[in-house]
Amino acid sequence: MRSLLKPLTVGILAVAGLATMVAADSLPNPREEGLGPTQRLETLLERVRIEQGQIETLEAEFVQFKESAMLVDPVEAKGVFSYAAPDQVRWEYLQPNPISLLIQGDEMTTWYQDLDQAEKVQVGRQSRKVLEYLGAGSTMDDLLEYFTVTLTLPNDTTQPYKLELDPRFARVAKRLQGMAIWIDAEQYLPVRLRYLEADGDVTDYTFRNFRVNRGLPDNRFELEIPSSVDVRLIDLSHRAGLR
């Protein structure tokens, strides 16, 4: 399960760009007639930046489906994802094993509740690229730096757009063979993410019941870890990252 947590946040944060207010009648339309493939992709990404740049808080239910050669059968997990601008993220796994993953600025805490273990990762400036790649702080522009993107436009206008991402660099492909992100055609939120890891493992997420800008409890980004839990501290500031 621990290896599954590394790339989780990239899909949601990938659509949280810079806040921009634009009149509704001038919003970029990915379905505008006459656009070529490159222009259509650029238009979609710009619309994503605009729409999601206005997000202050977001919460959604998620289902994770994992296939691996190390697993006898595929594993399904369920939980809740929470986000507050600019850099607070929480993945709360409820089934089958309770796991809390909290990201705040330069610190990432993972609490394996059933194991009475936790990890706190301190991220130095030199390791910022590590967390960007692992999905702890990526924007769509970060993804474009590391991946080439292909857009599939569904015939049904109610169906999500599909972005397929292939690694640009060998050092990235060593960790991730590819990704796919499905973007809702109305809210421009990711409703599905699919990761193909270098070892052939597949991790698939679906999201539902989005709650955008409805506020979150003050303690949503607090973890009350009991003193009896063994907390391991990891300092990435002295480790080499992706540059």
We report the CATH number of the domain holding residue 19 as: 2.50.20
pLDDT value of position 106? 78
pLDDT value of position 236? 62
Least confident residue range of 20-24, 86-90, 226-230 = 20-24
Helix and strand counts by DSSP (H, E) for the chain: 5, 12
For the chain, the domain total comes to 1
The pLDDT tens digits of the residues spanning 78-122 come to 999 998 888 788 999 999 999 999 988 778 899 999 999 999 987
Domain span at residue 98 reads 2-144+207-235
In a domain, 152, yes or no: no
In a domain, 60, yes or no: yes
Structure tokens at 16: 């949280």
Dist. CA 94–CA 144, nearest whole Å: 32
The pLDDT tens digits of the residues spanning 35-64 come to 999 999 999 989 988 888 888 999 999 999
The sign of the torsion formed by the CA atoms of 153, 76, 135, 167 equals negative
Q: Which ranges in 68-146 belong to alpha helices (H)?
A: 128-134, 140-146
pLDDT value of position 235? 72
In a domain, 103, yes or no: yes
For the whole prediction, is pTM greater than 0.85? no
Please give the share of the chain, as a percent, with pLDDT higher than 90: 51
In a domain, 218, yes or no: yes
In a domain, 151, yes or no: no
Name the nearest CA neighbour of 195 among 182, 178, 183: 178
CB atoms within 10 A of CB 171: 12
Instruction: Give me Rg for the CA atoms of the chain.
Output: 18
The pLDDT of residue 129 is above 80: no
In a domain, 136, yes or no: yes
pLDDT value of position 124? 53
